[in-house]
């Protein structure tokens, strides 16, 4: 029997691991009453500390605060800091109560939420707050109405985008059953799921307010309803309703309230959080995130829950103790989209170095930077047969919906053909690939040129200079001491140029004004004729000055 029990335990353990732990996940988080941008770096230091990454923040968006620019800016800051938002929807205060959500507002909510470029693929949504309190639901608890509203919101969100990750509101598990002001959570949820049996099909996770009661001062070792393990009681409750869906748990509110400001109580609460994380929440695979209430609240009624001290830039001990706990480097899925655009020449020449520019367009959720992303070259040739070598390059920083020119440096070796692609990798995993670049590396071309003096005369000297510029005005070739005989000069083996592209070729002779011609190089037969050289550069500065050059003739 012991062997059978042990086998069942192992099967259950690995089943839970496979259901609830599909990717590395940092469970640490914090609840923000208001998302002040100046607080976010300190939030990062809390939830992503001690080798952690991609922790969570719970944020509240009110119906009268749906400013796309404001919230997109917040999301972009969270993206850079690797903080995952859990968004709780809210209406607006009506006196001492919160207005009830109305079905006619759903389209506005859905359009607004869908207009944002979310930080990661999962768009975590919590449908309002503790509706088993009358003050949170227009003054009177109404589980049937909440069930209808939750179903309507869920259907609309999922229809708009399957990435919306829907959770019901966190409930007050310690509320008494005093209708219409309060409803017992068990009775409330039983009515909610009985009213709309399809509601469970739209839920992706479970939001829990696992507070240590009574009086937000209970022991972290307590079990059951009204403790930091309230979520366990809630999952058992769902199973008692016949709901066997495995919902990952998001503890979006929890924490102890400071009754006094003495040092002993502050340290006791800090140790309670350490015990809760290390002995309960981190060990339970069903828990996806824990965001204690609240990072910064400077007034009643939640002053005693604030992790930040009143009117100070310092924090209570739980901030530092939780920061010190070792954390996991999370790896949430992001939608990576974009383009790698280029229009490079296909005919290059051997023994040359090229400077090209391609365009990276970020059209997804990732914040592209050199810490996580690399631009790599895919070559069809084996290492010992490659005729090209790419020098390392950096992408810098590219925000979503930005594009940037990236410098590419290429060195060709011997003649041959190659097929090359560029790819963008994130943590060594390929996320983006370019079109193919067919390269034909040819022999170095030569150039024959003709040049005459004004008003007459054919040069016979060896102090000419040729400079070649590409279309970006980059100097790609330069040679001095070229010999010209009877007005004809010759340059052999010109490197760093591409064939069939336009170049500006400049000829320089000391004492004469420079001449230039535009020219397209071919594999052979390259010949060019410059206009006559004018002897009007006596000071040899490469430009014409009447007083210094013309009068200098006399």
Mean pLDDT for 312-321 is 96
Q: What is the DSSP letter of 548?
A: I
User: Does residue 288 surpass a pLDDT of 90?
Assistant: yes
Token pair for 493:
């083996």
Q: Please report the pLDDT score of residue 538 as a whole number.
A: 76
Check whether 546 has a pLDDT greater than 90.
Answer: no
Q: Can you tell me the mean pLDDT for 122-128? A: 98
pLDDT (tens digit per residue) in 24-57: 999 999 999 888 999 999 999 999 999 999 999 9
- What confidence category does residue 341 fall into, taking pLDDT thresholds of 50, 70 and 90? very high
Contact of 235 with 203, CB cutoff 8 Å: no
Average pLDDT, the chain: 93
190 Cβ partners below 8 Å, 6+ apart?
241
> 25-324 — its CATH code?
3.20.20.80
Over 50: is that where the pLDDT of 432 sits? Answer: yes
Q: How far is CA 87 from the centre of its chain?
A: 18
The sign of the torsion formed by the CA atoms of 483, 488, 493, 499 equals positive
Q: What is the mean pLDDT of residues 257-281?
A: 95
CATH number for the segment(s) 447-553: 2.60.40.1120
Q: Residue 543's pLDDT is what? A: 64
Count helices and strands (H / E) in the chain: 9, 28
Rounded CA-CA distance 290/322 in Å is 12
Percent of the chain with pLDDT over 70: 93
Domain spans in the chain, listed from the N-terminal domain onward: 25-324, 338-442, 447-553
CA 89/CA 228 separation, integer angstroms: 24
Q: How many whole angstroms from its chain centre is CA 68?
A: 18
**What mean pLDDT comes out for the span 83-93?**
98
Angle between helices 263-276 and 317-324 (to 10 degrees): 30
How many Cβ atoms from other residues are within 10 Å of residue 223's Cβ?
12
Per-residue model confidence (pLDDT) at position 47: 98
Superfamily of domain 338-442: Immunoglobulins (2.60.40.10)
Residues 6+ apart with CB under 8 A from 116: 68, 71, 72, 75
Give the chain's end-to-end CA distance (angstroms, integer): 118
447-553 shares the fold of 338-442: yes
Residues 107-117, mean pLDDT to the nearest whole number: 98
The whole-angstrom distance between residue 448's C-alpha and the CA centroid of its chain comes to 54
**Region 304-329: what's the mean pLDDT?**
96
């Amino acid at each position: 029997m012991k062997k059978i029990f042990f086998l069942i335990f192992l099967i259950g353990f690995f089943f839970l691991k496979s259901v609830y732990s599909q990717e590395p996940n940092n469970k640490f988080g914090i609840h923000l009453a208001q998302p002040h941008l100046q607080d976010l770096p300190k939030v990062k230091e809390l939830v992503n500390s001690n080798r952690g990454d991609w922790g969570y923040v719970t944020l509240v968006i009110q119906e009268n605060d749906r400013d796309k620019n404001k919230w997109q800016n917040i999301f972009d800051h969270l993206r850079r800091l690797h903080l995952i938002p859990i968004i709780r929807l809210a209406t607006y205060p009506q006196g001492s109560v919160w207005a009830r959500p109305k079905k006619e507002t759903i389209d506005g909510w859905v359009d607004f939420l869908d207009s944002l470029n979310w930080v990661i693929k999962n768009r975590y949504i919590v449908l309002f707050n503790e509706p088993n309190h009358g003050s949170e639901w227009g003054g009177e608890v109404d589980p049937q109405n909440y069930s209808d509203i939750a179903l309507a919101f869920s259907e609309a969100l999922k229809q708009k985008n399957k990435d919306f990750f829907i959770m019901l509101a966190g409930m007050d598990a310690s509320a008494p059953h005093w209708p219409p002001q309060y409803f017992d959570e068990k009775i409330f949820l039983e009515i909610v799921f009985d009213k709309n049996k399809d509601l469970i099909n739209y839920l992706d996770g479970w939001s829990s307010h696992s507070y240590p009661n009574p009086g937000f001062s209970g022991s972290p070792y307590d079990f059951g309803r009204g403790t930091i393990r309230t979520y366990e009681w809630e999952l058992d409750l769902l199973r008692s309703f016949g709901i066997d869906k495995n919902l990952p748990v998001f503890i979006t509110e929890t924490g102890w309230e400071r009754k006094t400001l003495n040092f002993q109580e502050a340290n006791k609460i800090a140790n309670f959080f350490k015990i809760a994380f290390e002995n309960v929440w981190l060990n339970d695979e069903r828990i996806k995130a824990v965001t204690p209430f609240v990072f910064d609240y400077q007034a009643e009624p939640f002053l005693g829950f604030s992790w930040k001290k009143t009117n100070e830039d310092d924090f209570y001990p739980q901030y530092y103790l939780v920061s010190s706990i070792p954390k996991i480097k999370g790896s949430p899925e992001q939608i990576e989209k974009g383009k790698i655009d280029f229009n490079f020449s296909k005919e290059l020449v051997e023994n040359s170095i090229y400077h090209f520019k391609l365009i990276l367009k970020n059209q997804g959720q990732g914040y592209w930077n050199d810490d996580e992303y690399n631009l790599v070259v895919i070559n069809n040739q084996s290492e010992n047969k490659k005729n090209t070598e790419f020098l390392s390059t950096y992408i810098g920083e590219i925000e979503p919906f930005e594009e940037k020119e990236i410098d590419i440096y290429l060195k060709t070796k011997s003649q041959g053909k190659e097929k090359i692609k560029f790819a963008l990798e994130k943590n060594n995993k390929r996320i983006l690939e370019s079109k193919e670049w067919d390269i034909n590396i040819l022999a170095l071309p030569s150039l024959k040129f003709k040049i005459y003096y004004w008003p007459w005369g054919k040069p016979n000297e060896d102090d000419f200079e040729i400079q070649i510029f590409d279309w970006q005005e980059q100097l790609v070739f330069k040679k001095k001491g070229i010999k010209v005989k009877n007005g004809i000069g010759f340059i052999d083996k010109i490197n760093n140029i591409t064939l069939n592209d336009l170049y500006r070729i400049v000829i320089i002779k000391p004492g004469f004004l420079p001449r230039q011609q535009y020219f397209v190089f071919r594999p052979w037969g390259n010949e060019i004729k410059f206009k006559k050289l004018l002897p009007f550069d006596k000071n040899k500065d490469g430009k014409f000055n009447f007083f210094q050059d013309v009068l200098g003739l006399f």
